[in-house]
C-alpha cells in the first residue's frame, strides 16, 4: 500500500490527465484560454464590435435569469472574443465603468484596477474600485458560465482544456449541448478523450434517446464506467423511468447497470477509507513521535508537548512573513526553511524547559504533569499575547494544494499525501539518530540505566537536556506540517495532546515502531468507524477499545523487554 | 485520567485568569461587566467582543459619559470554562456591583450563567446568533434567532438563484446550538416537501480537525442526481480545517454550496479564500456592506485596535446595537436600576450599521434584516440576497410542535418567557 502511494506521489505532478486541481489552476489556464480564443473553428467573428458591446452591456441587470439568457446568447455564436469575457465574469473581474457605462474587464494590481476593453482586449485606463461596479455573479450564474465556457472550449486545440470542457458537459447533463458534442466527436482524434465524449453522449442519450435500442446502447456504454456521476445519471434515470413508465427491458437493464456501478463504487469507498485512515494515522504519528521520545523514552509526562507543535506552526508563520517580501506566496521554500527553523526554535524552548523545570522533577510523575501543564498554559497565553487570539494564515505552497482526483470519486489531496510522506521521513530520521549516532547511543544508555551510564562517563544531565530538546524539536517539525491542515492558533496544541498520549501508550512506551504502528492502526480504525458511528462516537469507541486493550497488555503493543529500568 | 485532567485544566486556567480591575475605583461611575473568554478555545472569537465593548465604553466616556457619570468596564476572563462563567458572573454582579453585563458566546456558557442572572436580577446582553427556544427576563438577545438566520438561508438555497437545492446536508458541532437548529431545520424542510431520505445530518466534536471522510461522504451524498447543498453549524476552530478540506477536495460552490451560520469575517481570517468563492454565510451584518454608519464603525474599530487589517463581524454589530440600546434605555429611565431599564428597553430603536433600524421587542429579541453573503477571494462577503424589511426574532420556533404554542412576552398581560396563555 505504502509503495502504491509513493508511486502515485511520484507521478502526481505530471499526471495531468487525472488532475483537476480546481480553482488554484484556473489562473494558469487563463493564458491558454486567450490562445484558444483565436483559433476556434468557425472563428468568423459572429458579432460586430458594436453588437458585442451592446450584448455585454445587457449583463448589467439585477436578474440572474436575464443574465443567463444573455450569457447563452453570447456563447451560442462561437465568437472567440466571448470566452475571455465570460471567464472574467466567472472570476468576478467584469465591471461596469461608472463614467461611461461601458463593460470592462478589471485586473487588480494592488489597489488599482486596470481596465481592459472587452472588444479589443486592450488596456483602456485604470481607476480605483470606487469607479467600477461589479457585475455580480452567484452560484447559479457560475454554473451557467462554466457550461457556456465548456461549449466554447470543446474545440480548443489544447487537449487539457478540451478534457475539462467534456467533464463539465458531463456534469451539466444538458441535452441541448448534444449537437455541439456530436460535432466535437467528429473532430476529436485523441482516443482517451473520445471515450469520455462517447460517455458524455451516452449520459445525454439516456435521457433524450428516442427509441429503446438507443437507450440500451447508452446504458451499455454507461455500465462499464465507475464514477459517481454515472451513478447519478443512472439513478436519476431509474427514478424517472419508474415514475413515468418505460419499456421494461430498458428499466431492467438500467437497474442492473446501476447495481454494478454501485458495487464497484463501494469497493473504491473502502479503498478511500483505508487511505484516509493512513492519512489520519500520519498526522497522529507526527504529533506523537516527539512525545514518543519525551514521554516514551524519558518517561516525562509532558503536557506541554502540544504547545511545542504550536510553536512549530507559529515558526512557520513567522518564517513565511519574513520571506514573503522575497518569495512569491506559492513558493515551497518558506515551508522548507521553516522545517529546520521550527526544529531549532521548539528544540531550544524544550531545552530551556528541561533545564528550568523538568530536571528537578525526574521520577515524580504527578509533579511533572502539573508543572508541564502549567508551562503549556503559559506558552499558550504568551502566544496569545504576542500574536493575538485569532488564527494566523499560513499559505499553502502550490505543490500542497489541490488533489489527484480519480474518476471513481476517490480524491487524494496533495497536502495529505505530502504529510504521509513527511511523517515517514521524520520517523526514519529519528530511527537513524537513535540507531547510528553517538548521541543516540548515549541517549539509549541513559534512559535504560542512568547510573550505569553515568559510571561509564556519560554526562547524563547533558543527555537529558538534549533528548528533551530533540523530542520538542520534532514536535516543532510536526507543527510545520500541521500548519497546513489545521488552525494556526494558540489552541493548536490542545487538539493533539490527548491523541498523542493515546498513540504512545497504545504503541508501547519507549518503542518507536510501536508508535508508528499505533498511529496508523488508530487512524484506520477511526476512519472505518466514522461513517456509521459518527465522528463523536468513533472517538469514544476507540478510547474504550484502547482502555480494554491496556487492561490486557498494560505495556502497549510492543513492550520493552529486558533490563530497561522502569523508574 | 480525563476527569482529573479537566479539573486540572480548570484550576490552571483559573489561576491564570487575567483580571483587569482598576485598583482605585472612582466612587461615582457606572460599571459595565464584560464576560468574554480571553483564554482557552473561545478566546479566538470572544476577545474581539471584549475589545468592542471597551471601544464603545471609551467612545461613550469621550462624549461625556452616561447620566453625567463616567462609565467603567470591568473585564473578567471566564477562560472558555462553562462553570467558571457562572462564577465570574456572580463575581461581577455581587462583588463588582456592575449595572449590566455584556458577554457569553456559546449557548452552553449562556445556559450556565442564566440562573445567576435570574437569581440576582441582573441584566445580560447576549450578542451571538443562537438556537432560540429561550427567553429570560434577565437576558436581551441581540444576535439572530433561527428564524433570522437559518430559515431564510435554507429558503435561499432552495430558491432558483440559490441553486434549487433538493437535498440538504446538515453538518454541525456536537452541542446544543447545532442540534436544536438542525431539529428546527429538519422539521421546516419536511414541511417544504424534502423527505428525511434527502437530509443527511452529521455531528463532530469541538475542534474536529480531520474532515476527509465527512467531506467525501458529502460528495457521495451529493452524487445521487439531485442538487445538494450543505448547511453548516460547525463552530469555532473546526471551520478552518473544514474549509481547507473542501478546497482541496475541489468542491465548487456552484456544485455543492455550503451556507454557514457561524463563519464570519473573523473566522475566514486564517484561510486562503480563493478556492471558497461562492460559499455562503447568513448573518445580519457583513463588513462589506456599504453604508456610512458601517464605514464610520470600521474606521473607529481600526483606530481603537491599531490595526487596519482587523475585520468586523456580526456579533460585533450585535454588541454595538445592544450597548447603544442599553445606553438609550438608561438615559430614558434616568437610572441604571435593572427593572426600570428593562421597561425602557422595549421598543428601543438603534440604527443598524448596514442601514435600517433594529427594534427591541417584548420577547427580548430584535427585529433585524437578514443578509446572505458569498465568500469573496479577499476574505470578505458580498451580499447576494437580503430580506425586504426586518424580521422579528422569534424566541420559540414555529416549526417545532412543542415550542410553536409557546409565547414570550415580558409586558403586561403576558409577563412570561414561555407561556401558553397570559399570566394576568
Residues of A in contact with B257 (CB under 8 A): 139
Using only C-alpha atoms, what is the Rg of chain A? 30
- Give Cα separations from B330 to A366, B52, B75, B337, B342 (angstroms): 53, 20, 21, 8, 9
Q: Quote the pLDDT of residue B1.
A: 44
A416 and B270 within 8 Å at the Cβ level: the answer is: no
Instruction: Closest CB to A485: pick one of B244, B250, B267.
Output: B244
C-alpha closest to that of B361 among B409, B314, B322, B422: B409
Can you tell me the distance from the alpha carbon of B375 to that of A139, in angstroms, rounded to the nearest whole number? 11
Question: Which residue of B8, B79, B164, B225 to mutate against A (max A Cβ within 10 Å)?
Answer: B225
Q: What is the fold, at CATH topology level, of the domain defined by B147-288+371-401?
A: Rossmann fold (3.40.50)
B220 and A416 within 8 Å at the Cβ level: the answer is: no
B16-144+293-367 CATH: 3.40.50.2300
Q: If you ran DSSP here, which 8-state letter would residue A297 be given?
A: I
- Using a pLDDT cut of 90, give the percent of chain B over it: 64
A392 and B376 within 8 Å at the Cβ level: the answer is: no
Question: Mean pLDDT lowest for which of A383-392, B119-128, B308-317?
Answer: A383-392
Q: How far is CA A301 from the centre of its chain?
A: 33
Residue A300 pLDDT greater than 70, yes or no: yes
Confidence band, pLDDT 50/70/90 cuts, at residue A331: confident
Mean pLDDT of A139-153: 85
A391 and B270 within 8 Å at the Cβ level: the answer is: yes
Using the Cβ of A133 and the Cβ atoms of chain B, whether some distance falls under 8 Å is answered with: no
Using the Cβ of A405 and the Cβ atoms of chain B, whether some distance falls under 8 Å is answered with: yes
Confidence band, pLDDT 50/70/90 cuts, at residue B226: confident
A370 and B8 within 8 Å at the Cβ level: the answer is: yes
Can you tell me the distance from the alpha carbon of A123 to that of A104, in angstroms, rounded to the nearest whole number? 9
Minimal CA separation from B287 to chain A, in Å: 16
Confidence band, pLDDT 50/70/90 cuts, at residue A560: low
Using the Cβ of A235 and the Cβ atoms of chain B, whether some distance falls under 8 Å is answered with: yes
Residue B90 pLDDT greater than 90, yes or no: yes
Q: Quote the pLDDT of residue A307.
A: 95
Nearest CA in chain A to B311: A390
Could you tell me the residue ranges of all domains in chain B?
A: 16-144+293-367, 147-288+371-401
Can you tell me the distance from the alpha carbon of A515 to that of A411, in angstroms, rounded to the nearest whole number? 27
B161 and A485 within 8 Å at the Cβ level: the answer is: no
Residue B5 pLDDT greater than 60, yes or no: no
Residues of A in contact with B3 (CB under 8 A): none
Nearest CA in chain B to A543: B2
Q: Which of residues 239-268 of A touch B (CB under 8 A)?
A: 239
Q: Quote the pLDDT of residue A548.
A: 93
Residues of A in contact with B242 (CB under 8 A): none
Mean pLDDT of B327-356: 94
Minimal CA separation from B174 to chain A, in Å: 8
B216 and A272 within 8 Å at the Cβ level: the answer is: yes
B220 and A228 within 8 Å at the Cβ level: the answer is: yes
A495 Cβ partners below 8 Å, 6+ apart? A306, A486, B207, B209, B237
B45 with B72: CB under 8 angstroms?
no
Using the Cβ of A182 and the Cβ atoms of chain B, whether some distance falls under 8 Å is answered with: no
Q: Quote the pLDDT of residue A199.
A: 84
- Give Cα separations from B45 to A541, B20, B267, B315, B375 (angstroms): 31, 19, 8, 9, 19
Mean pLDDT of A467-479: 94
Residue B113 pLDDT greater than 90, yes or no: yes
Confidence band, pLDDT 50/70/90 cuts, at residue B158: very high
Confidence band, pLDDT 50/70/90 cuts, at residue A132: confident
Residues of B in contact with A233 (CB under 8 A): 225
Minimal CA separation from B12 to chain A, in Å: 7
Using the Cβ of A367 and the Cβ atoms of chain B, whether some distance falls under 8 Å is answered with: no
B11 with B87: CB under 8 angstroms?
no
Q: Quote the pLDDT of residue A45.
A: 57
Residue B190 pLDDT greater than 90, yes or no: yes
Using the Cβ of A73 and the Cβ atoms of chain B, whether some distance falls under 8 Å is answered with: no
Q: Which of residues 19-38 of A touch B (CB under 8 A)?
A: 20-24
Minimal CA separation from A169 to chain B, in Å: 13
Q: Counting one residue from A and one from B, how many pairs have CB atoms under 8 Å apart?
A: 193
Can you tell me the distance from the alpha carbon of A18 to that of A12, in angstroms, rounded to the nearest whole number? 9
Q: Which of residues 264-283 of A touch B (CB under 8 A)?
A: 269, 272-273, 276, 279-280, 283
Residues of A in contact with B166 (CB under 8 A): none
A23 and B38 within 8 Å at the Cβ level: the answer is: no
- The tens digit of pLDDT for each residue in A93-131 reads 888 888 888 888 988 887 788 888 888 888 888 888 778
Work out the burial of residue A561: count CB atoms within 10 Å of its CB; fewer than 13 is exposed, 13-18 middle, 19 or more buried: exposed
Question: Interior CA angle at A231 toward A227 and A236, to 5°?
Answer: 150
Work out the burial of residue A141: count CB atoms within 10 Å of its CB; fewer than 13 is exposed, 13-18 middle, 19 or more buried: buried
Minimal CA separation from A319 to chain B, in Å: 16
Minimal CA separation from A283 to chain B, in Å: 9
A402 and B248 within 8 Å at the Cβ level: the answer is: yes
Residues of B in contact with A142 (CB under 8 A): 252-254, 278
Minimal CA separation from B281 to chain A, in Å: 13
Mean pLDDT of A408-436: 91
B216 and A23 within 8 Å at the Cβ level: the answer is: no
pLDDT higher at A331 or A267:
A267
What does residue A125 show for φ and ψ, rounded to 5 degrees? 125, 175
Question: Mean pLDDT lowest for which of A16-20, A118-122, A142-146, A557-561?
Answer: A16-20
pLDDT higher at B24 or B305:
B305
Q: Which of A45-54, A325-334, B181-190 has the highest mean pLDDT?
A: B181-190
Work out the burial of residue A28: count CB atoms within 10 Å of its CB; fewer than 13 is exposed, 13-18 middle, 19 or more buried: exposed
Mean pLDDT of A32-51: 55
Instruction: Closest CB to B254: pick one of A146, A527, A534.
Output: A146
Q: If you write DSSP's letter for every residue of B101-121 in order, what string do you get?
A: EEE--SHHHHHHHHHHHHHTT
- The tens digit of pLDDT for each residue in A172-185 reads 777 777 777 888 88
Q: pLDDT averaged over chain A?
A: 82
Instruction: Closest CB to B250: pick one of A283, A378, A403.
Output: A403
Q: How are the residues of chain B apportioned to helix, strand and coil, as percentages rounded to the nearest 5?
A: 40, 20, 40
Q: Which of residues 113-132 of A touch B (CB under 8 A)?
A: none
Q: Quote the pLDDT of residue A329.
A: 66
Query: pTM for the full model?
Result: 0.81
Residue B124 pLDDT greater than 70, yes or no: yes
A390 and B240 within 8 Å at the Cβ level: the answer is: no
Mean pLDDT of B204-232: 88
Can you tell me the distance from the alpha carbon of A257 to that of A68, in angstroms, rounded to the nearest whole number? 35
Mean pLDDT of A372-401: 88
Instruction: Closest CB to B216: pick one of A373, A411, A489.
Output: A411
The strand pairing partners of B170, in sequence order, are B201, B231
A107 Cβ partners below 8 Å, 6+ apart? A93, A113, A114, A116
Q: If you ran DSSP here, which 8-state letter would residue B198 be given?
A: G
Confidence band, pLDDT 50/70/90 cuts, at residue A13: very low
Question: Which residue of A107, A138, A378, A402 to mutate against B (max B Cβ within 10 Å)?
Answer: A138
pLDDT higher at B371 or B236:
B371
Residue A67 pLDDT greater than 60, yes or no: yes
Residues of A in contact with B272 (CB under 8 A): 393, 395-396
C-alpha closest to that of A300 among A165, A180, A475, A417: A475
Using the Cβ of A370 and the Cβ atoms of chain B, whether some distance falls under 8 Å is answered with: yes
pLDDT higher at A372 or A209:
A372
Mean pLDDT of A207-234: 80
Instruction: Closest CB to A136: pick one of B9, B214, B384.
Output: B384
Amino acid at each position: 500500500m505504502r509503495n502504491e502511494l509513493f508511486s502515485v506521489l511520484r507521478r502526481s505532478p505530471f499526471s495531468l490527465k487525472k488532475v483537476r486541481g480546481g480553482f488554484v489552476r484556473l489562473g494558469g489556464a487563463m493564458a491558454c484560454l486567450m490562445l484558444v480564443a483565436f483559433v476556434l473553428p468557425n472563428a468568423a467573428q459572429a458579432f460586430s464590435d458594436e453588437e458585442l458591446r451592446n450584448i455585454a452591456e445587457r449583463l448589467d441587470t439585477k436578474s440572474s435569469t436575464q443574465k443567463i439568457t444573455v450569457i447563452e446568447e453570447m456563447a451560442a455564436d462561437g465568437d472567440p472574443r466571448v470566452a475571455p469575457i465570460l471567464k472574467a465574469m466567472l472570476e468576478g473581474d467584469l465591471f461596469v465603468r461608472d463614467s461611461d457605462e461601458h463593460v470592462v474587464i478589471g485586473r487588480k494590481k494592488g489597489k488599482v484596477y486596470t481596465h481592459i476593453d472587452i472588444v479589443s482586449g486592450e488596456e483602456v485606463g485604470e481607476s480605483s474600485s470606487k469607479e467600477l461596479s461589479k457585475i455580480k455573479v452567484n452560484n447559479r450564474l457560475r454554473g451557467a458560465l462554466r457550461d457556456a465556457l465548456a461549449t466554447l472550449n470543446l474545440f480548443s486545440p489544447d487537449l487539457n482544456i478540451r478534457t475539462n470542457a467534456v467533464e463539465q458537459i458531463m456534469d451539466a447533463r444538458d441535452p441541448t449541448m448534444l449537437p455541439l458534442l456530436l460535432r466535437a466527436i467528429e473532430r476529436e482524434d485523441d482516443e482517451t478523450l473520445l471515450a469520455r465524449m462517447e460517455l458524455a453522449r451516452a449520459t445525454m442519450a439516456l435521457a433524450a434517446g428516442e427509441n429503446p435500442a438507443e437507450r440500451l446502447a447508452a446504458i451499455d456504454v454507461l455500465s462499464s464506467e465507475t464514477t459517481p456521476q454515472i451513478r447519478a445519471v443512472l439513478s436519476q434515470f431509474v427514478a424517472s423511468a419508474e415514475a413515468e413508465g418505460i419499456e421494461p427491458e430498458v428499466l431492467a437493464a438500467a437497474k442492473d447497470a446501476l447495481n454494478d456501478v454501485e458495487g464497484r463504487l463501494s469497493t473504491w469507498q473502502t479503498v478511500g477509507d483505508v487511505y484516509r485512515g493512513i492519512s489520519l494515522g500520519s498526522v497522529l504519528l507526527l504529533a506523537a513521535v516527539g512525545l514518543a521520545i519525551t514521554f516514551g523514552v524519558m518517561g516525562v509526562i509532558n503536557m506541554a508537548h502540544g504547545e511545542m507543535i504550536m510553536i512549530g506552526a507559529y515558526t512557520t508563520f513567522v518564517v513565511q512573513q519574513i520571506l514573503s517580501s522575497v518569495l512569491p506566496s506559492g513558493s515551497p521554500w518558506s515551508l522548507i526553511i521553516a522545517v529546520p527553523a521550527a526544529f531549532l526554535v521548539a528544540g531550544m524552548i524544550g531545552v530551556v524547559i528541561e533545564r528550568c523545570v523538568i530536571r528537578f522533577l525526574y521520577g515524580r510523575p504527578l509533579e511533572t504533569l502539573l508543572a508541564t501543564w502549567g508551562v503549556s498554559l503559559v506558552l499558550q497565553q504568551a502566544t496569545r499575547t504576542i500574536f493575538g487570539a485569532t488564527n494566523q494564515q499560513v499559505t499553502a505552497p502550490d505543490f500542497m494544494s489541490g488533489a489527484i482526483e480519480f474518476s471513481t470519486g476517490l480524491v487524494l489531496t496533495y497536502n495529505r499525501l505530502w504529510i504521509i510522506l513527511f511523517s515517514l521521513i521524520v520517523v526514519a530520521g529519528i530511527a537513524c539518530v537513535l540507531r547510528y549516532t553517538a548521541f543516540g547511543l548515549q541517549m539509549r544508555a541513559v534512559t535504560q540505566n542512568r547510573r550505569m551510564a553515568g559510571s561509564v562517563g556519560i554526562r547524563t544531565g547533558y543527555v537529558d537536556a538534549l533528548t528533551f530538546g530533540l523530542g520538542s524539536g520534532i514536535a516543532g517539525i510536526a507543527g510545520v506540517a500541521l500548519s497546513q491542515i489545521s488552525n494556526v492558533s494558540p489552541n493548536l496544541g490542545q487538539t493533539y495532546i490527548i491523541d498523542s498520549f493515546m498513540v504512545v501508550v497504545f504503541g508501547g512506551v519507549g518503542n518507536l515502531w510501536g508508535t508508528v504502528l499505533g498511529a496508523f492502526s488508530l487512524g484506520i480504525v477511526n476512519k472505518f468507524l466514522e461513517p456509521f458511528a459518527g465522528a463523536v462516537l468513533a472517538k469514544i469507541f476507540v478510547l474504550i477499545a484502547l482502555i480494554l486493550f491496556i487492561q490486557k497488555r498494560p505495556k502497549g503493543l510492543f513492550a520493552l523487554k529486558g533490563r530497561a529500568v522502569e523508574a | 485520567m480525563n476527569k482529573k485532567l479537566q479539573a486540572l485544566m480548570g484550576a490552571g486556567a483559573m489561576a491564570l485568569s487575567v483580571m483587569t480591575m482598576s485598583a482605585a475605583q472612582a466612587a461615582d461611575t457606572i460599571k459595565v461587566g464584560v464576560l468574554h473568554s480571553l483564554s482557552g478555545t473561545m478566546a479566538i472569537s470572544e476577545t474581539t467582543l471584549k475589545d468592542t465593548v471597551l471601544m464603545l465604553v471609551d467612545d461613550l466616556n469621550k462624549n461625556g459619559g452616561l447620566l453625567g457619570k463616567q462609565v467603567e468596564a470591568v473585564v473578567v476572563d471566564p477562560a472558555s470554562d462553562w462553570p467558571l462563567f457562572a462564577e465570574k458572573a456572580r463575581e461581577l454582579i455581587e462583588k463588582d456591583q456592575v449595572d449590566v453585563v455584556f458577554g457569553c458566546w456559546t449557548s452552553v456558557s449562556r445556559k450556565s450563567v442564566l440562573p445567576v442572572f435570574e437569581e440576582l436580577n441582573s441584566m445580560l446582553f447576549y450578542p451571538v446568533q443562537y438556537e432560540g427556544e429561550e427567553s429570560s427576563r434577565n437576558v436581551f438577545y441581540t444576535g439572530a434567532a433561527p428564524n433570522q438566520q437559518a430559515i431564510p438561508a435554507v429558503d435561499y438555497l432552495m430558491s432558483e438563484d440559490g441553486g434549487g437545492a433538493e437535498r440538504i446536508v446538515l453538518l454541525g458541532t456536537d452541542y446544543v446550538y447545532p442540534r436544536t437548529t438542525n431539529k428546527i431545520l429538519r422539521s421546516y424542510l419536511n414541511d417544504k416537501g424534502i423527505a428525511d431520505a434527502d437530509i443527511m445530518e452529521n455531528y463532530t466534536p469541538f475542534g474536529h480537525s480531520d474532515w476527509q471522510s465527512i467531506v467525501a461522504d458529502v460528495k457521495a451524498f451529493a452524487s445521487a442526481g439531485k442538487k445538494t447543498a450543505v448547511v453548516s453549524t460547525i463552530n469555532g476552530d473546526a471551520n478552518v480545517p473544514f474549509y481547507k478540506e473542501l478546497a482541496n477536495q475541489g468542491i465548487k460552490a456552484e456544485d455543492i454550496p455550503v451556507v454557514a451560520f457561524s463563519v464570519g469575517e473573523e473566522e475566514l481570517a486564517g484561510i486562503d479564500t480563493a478556492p471558497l468563492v461562492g460559499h455562503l454565510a447568513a448573518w445580519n451584518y457583513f463588513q462589506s456592506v456599504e453604508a456610512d454608519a458601517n464605514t464610520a464603525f470600521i474606521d473607529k474599530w481600526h483606530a481603537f485596535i491599531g490595526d487596519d487589517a482587523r475585520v468586523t463581524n456580526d456579533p460585533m454589530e450585535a454588541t454595538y446595537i445592544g450597548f447603544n440600546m442599553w445606553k438609550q434605555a438608561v438615559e430614558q429611565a434616568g437610572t441604571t436600576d435593572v427593572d426600570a431599564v428593562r421597561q425602557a428597553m422595549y421598543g428601543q430603536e438603534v440604527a443598524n450599521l448596514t442601514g435600517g433600524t433594529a427594534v427591541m421587542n417584548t420577547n427580548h429579541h430584535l427585529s433585524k434584516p437578514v443578509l446572505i453573503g458569498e465568500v469573496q477571494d479577499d476574505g470578505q462577503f458580498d451580499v447576494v440576497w437580503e430580506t425586504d424589511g426586518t424580521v422579528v426574532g422569534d424566541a420559540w420556533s414555529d416549526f417545532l410542535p412543542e415550542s410553536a404554542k409557546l409565547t414570550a412576552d415580558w409586558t403586561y398581560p403576558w409577563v412570561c418567557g414561555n407561556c401558553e396563555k397570559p399570566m394576568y
